[in-house]
Amino acid sequence: MTDFVKILTRKNSLRKQCLELGVADLEKVLADLTDIIDERREDEAAQAAAEAAKIEAIEAIRKQMMDAGIGLDDLSVQVDSAPRKSVKAKFKIVDADGEEHFWSGRGRTPVAFAAYMEEKGISKDQLPTVD
């Protein structure tokens, strides 16, 4: 808490600070504080109205979902089960054991491909492609 706030929130501290002010100055401070209070009340009322509108919209959506027989679990299943696009393999190599390895060419180079490129002394662009 700042010193200014401490003075404003403690009556005796405020009284002490206002000893040098005249009545006209005190009335001006009071009017300014009243304006600030009114502005704060309006802001809080606007926030409360926005929150109430949001809650009302949520309740309307919930009612529509209940009328349609849809639950929150149904929504999460639909969102979670969205199919991911798989990337088609671009490169294919056969290692020393005769095992085939496929790679799309994206992301980190697989160990088998890195070893193959090092062994052959080639770059990614020279890898054999999938037929």
The pLDDT-based confidence of 73 (bands split at 50, 70, 90) is confident
Instruction: List the domain boundaries for the chain.
Output: 3-78, 91-126
Asked if residue 43 has pLDDT above 80, the reply is yes
- DSSP string spanning 8-56? HH-HHHHHHHTTT--HHHHHHHHHHHHHHHHHHHHHHHHHHHHHHHHHH
Provide the pLDDT for residue 50: 97
Asked if residue 8 has pLDDT above 80, the reply is yes
Question: What's the mean pLDDT in 87-100?
Answer: 89
